[in-house]
Structure 1
């Protein structure tokens, strides 16, 4: 049977389908908090640099004019696929200025993980068809290596300027900056936004963001996110949380309620991009932007800017719970709540956090790049640790068994299928994966999440979603997705590796980390196991991003378990590892 949002959930307002994200975010008629009542939307947490909501709109306009001149684009001509810009940068207060400027011209912003190495960046640039790239000085060397191979000329590499404490002695090397483009754009003629000529439904058909999500095939897949998808999830989150914000507004006796939120999560990640950035700006909140994670800088920023809402991931929360002495040196009394996603937060960790900060409301949510973020989340009045909360307005869910039967009740596990206006267009250049993931049936178009879930009723009588296991074989470490097949393919090129299988193993700080089970090549049998493990681990370190390293270790086995068709039985390896860990725990 289908599952729906709880009875207390407000109805989802009409979602405009013929405007761009830029128009939706910068025009009060679409429900955003009036500019007069909005805080400054983005603040550099290191320098204090900021601008008002109306200034953000102007900066977006001016940057779009400069981009049109630099790249030879016209807003009313060409497909969005003719106007692709990449951003490979640490967080910046102009991240969305750039996104909306590109979209104002009818183009696409492809967001690149700032942890990527040159080869990974090169792949995304080529796959997306990016014609230009914005980066930052700490990533400039990597960028230039990748752009040379992707045939992007130096003059189309632009710089997002960061605080001196981040860039140090690094130099620009003659590249134009985002700020210089905005300044130049003020002197150029105005360009009507591309959506002034859009027909009905065009916002739902046009790609606005291209974010990459790893698949079990090993190579990341470009997730095509439409304007309508982003607008829909922004409205879904805002509507879901509106009753609690309205209650806070009345209690404070204010006309409008806004908050100060933490903008530390990578804006290249769908969580930071939508939840941490778009929703905040739409609601008139202020997002305090930090370029990267530094624990003491984070605490100082919370204290200095009196941040109310923390958007975090479990490893950051674990760091807090294990750093009580450091926490005592900072005033965190402004914080009222934290929201965690990207990986499950254990009840024990939540309890530990509340033992330190009993006044905090610890919320959790669940979503995917393919659902343009949030599917469900807890709210202040209905927190249930271990749960990912209730479905957002406008979402229908089904739970389907391996045999293809729909679950009819509670506490029965199956794969989560989601129907939502925020479900994306599909995967770029991968029709097979699109067909396998996005299913059409008599009830509409559903996205198969690959996650095993159960529905349970909370003590208050509301349906909550619990993530039990992943049917997909992705490893989630620090909120990033790691495809076992990608690491396996790489390991097989090591001369000492005859066969291998990679799985995720539990890690308190990262959630999961990759572990490799290796069948040694005949010629390496006599080598020291310790030296060989180090050689294999180093081989991954030298070629893959930091979060893909084999932190779970390397274990040698005699044979990789496979099905008769040759498919690696990773679930069998996971079950063996769990049993081994259970027995080890029992012996301690």
Structure 2
């Protein structure tokens, strides 16, 4: 076995910690001010930091004394962005009842899986998510459901009904390895897993983030929030750092509208806009009705997925404010690499290691260690063994390179560039899509013998306009006769073992259109435009190699099958997981001798075909 190539990165010492060891994250926050915390322009409403904190401590009292939860009992929060969301999260922290944040676009199936894995005792759902929540809890009768606000006509009890003026609670002392937040991530591979962020991790996030770019985190900040608070990026900035700095956040819930976004930037004199690449695409490419005064804007801060050099340049040229980078994972509690406001950023770089974060590159993969890094996945010793090495460094799954540039003080600094993912997870609009989850669904269809899901570039748009990968499925189909035989066993290989298992029929689902599900701001792209011929592309090339399956179906039948398979998946998952890249019929899925899908080999083959189809030179 060859010795791995290791490059140790220079690191800066950790900054002064926030709060004492063993302190609840809420107790570590400074006193709340009476200044506005959250303003929702569409509702003409504002909530102060004092109101947010008071409501949180009252909720903590209600959860512990009225709902009778014990420390360690998990509370699920399932809602789109609203002013009540931060109080619910901070209230859970104060009560020492870890909260698990569920994406507001989840289907009942996806929500029930997360709640079951987290072993949640309570679910707090937003008004727009109550129907999905009720359906999800049919299979989880022990979970209590409460609404996040008094929805008109709702029969569900509102969580704030348990709040009594003067009755507040915050358990100040905690164990430093005690879980505070339980977000779900696909990690370096596989299906989503619960990421344990402790009170100590969250305290470290505050000190490390502020130290990484001090000019970005002053007390006179006004931030724009269009990021889902259920995502670690949105939580870290628009709940945790907001409470720590007492800054003003402008909330724009709902579908992303670039005109409303720019008008709010102008009207509220926003100083920093936290975005993801697809938002940058809309801002640079949409026609604008007028010029906007963004002289207050000191930085764009992009994260959650790589933002190309050309797209970043277009954003800066159009609006003037400099673009700054942020690289983090759910597992690193919203901080890892970052560029500093007020200092030049090498184009395309993901940033510098934050103070207190140690890094090394092992055979091209970035590995990090620090007080912000999770202690591990929830009840997943196998995943933890894969994620951490013998020195305690966490493998990020991202392949990187390093360039040395001279800093403003004349010192050499190691800027890190993300090249590709070693892990299998696909990023769409900044959200993680686990191939294993979609493959499991596909393999339940009687026509599918084998499959692999991967991310590919969207060659339908120019390179500088690409903000995400497209999720594409490659399938090997059974023979036509087997596909029509309802009694044929649907055998598929389990991702977690070498055995074969028989998958039963899927549960009934409610179908929803793309236009009906764009209720959260990360769902900002138009539905994928995949022509029937493009959807079925690849069939002709593989006909000779797989005659029993391929030749049994006429061309129009293959097109119909690809469309059917895409619908089969898309109606069972949240919008951001849909197969916008379509379905391609292939003769085989390349695998290693151990049976592991050679996803990179398959991706290279598919990308070559896509480039030819779109007339792009190799």
Q: Is the 8 A contact 1:45 1:290 kept in 2?
A: yes
Q: Does 1:364 align with 2:325?
A: yes
Residue deviations 1:31-72 (CA, integer Å, cap 9, x gap):
xxxx55x74222223223223323332222212222223311
Matches within 5 A, 1:386-401: 386-401=348-363
**Cα RMSD for the two superposed structures:** 2.3
1:250 aligned partner: none
Counterpart among 582, 593, 596 of residue 567 in structure 1: 596
Gaps of 5+ in 2: 1-6, 459-464, 484-551
Q: Distance in 2 between matches of 1:107 and 1:353?
A: 41
Q: 1:211 to 1:554 in 2, by over 3 A?
A: same
Gaps of 5+ in 1: 29-34, 163-169, 247-255, 402-413
Q: 1:97 to 1:135 in 2, by over 3 A?
A: same
Deviation at 1:586, TM superposition (A): 4.1
Q: 1:298 to 1:70 in 2, by over 3 A?
A: farther
2:8 aligned partner: 2
Q: Distance in 1 between matches of 2:439 and 2:208?
A: 39
Q: Distance in 2 between matches of 1:139 and 1:331?
A: 36
2:156 aligned partner: 175
Counterpart among 59, 66, 69 of residue 62 in structure 2: 66
Counterpart among 287, 297, 301 of residue 335 in structure 1: 297
TM-score by length of 2: 0.81
1:210 aligned partner: 182
1:274 aligned partner: 236
Q: Distance in 1 between matches of 2:599 and 2:99?
A: 35
| Structure (1/2) with the larger helix percentage | 1
Counterpart among 230, 237, 240 of residue 212 in structure 2: 240
Residue deviations 1:317-369 (CA, integer Å, cap 9, x gap):
1001111334x2654443221100000000000111122112x0111110101
SS at match of 1:231: helix
1:466 aligned partner: 417
Q: Distance in 2 between matches of 1:148 and 1:171?
A: 23
- Count of residue correspondences: 527
SS at match of 1:262: strand
Deviation at 1:10, TM superposition (A): 8.2
Counterpart among 86, 89, 112 of residue 96 in structure 1: 86
1:105 aligned partner: 95
Q: Is the 8 A contact 1:214 1:220 kept in 2?
A: yes
Deviation at 1:150, TM superposition (A): 1.1
SS at match of 2:172: helix
Q: Does 1:302 align with 2:274?
A: no
Residue deviations 1:506-558 (CA, integer Å, cap 9, x gap):
13555112111111211163242211111111101121111111111111111
Structure 1 stretches of 4+ moved >6 Å: none
Matches within 5 A, 1:396-411: 396-401=358-363
Q: Distance in 1 between matches of 2:436 and 2:388?
A: 22
1:434 aligned partner: 384
Q: Does 1:261 align with 2:261?
A: no
Q: 1:14 to 1:290 in 2, by over 3 A?
A: closer
1:186 aligned partner: 165
Counterpart among 195, 198, 217 of residue 223 in structure 1: 195
TM-score by length of 1: 0.85
1:416 aligned partner: 366
SS at match of 1:46: helix
1:554 aligned partner: 583
Q: Distance in 2 between matches of 1:394 and 1:472?
A: 25
SS at match of 1:439: coil
Deviation at 1:303, TM superposition (A): 3.0
Q: Does 1:48 align with 2:44?
A: yes
Deviates more, 1:277-286 or 1:124-133: 277-286
SS at match of 1:325: coil
Deviation at 1:181, TM superposition (A): 3.5
Q: Distance in 2 between matches of 1:321 and 1:346?
A: 13
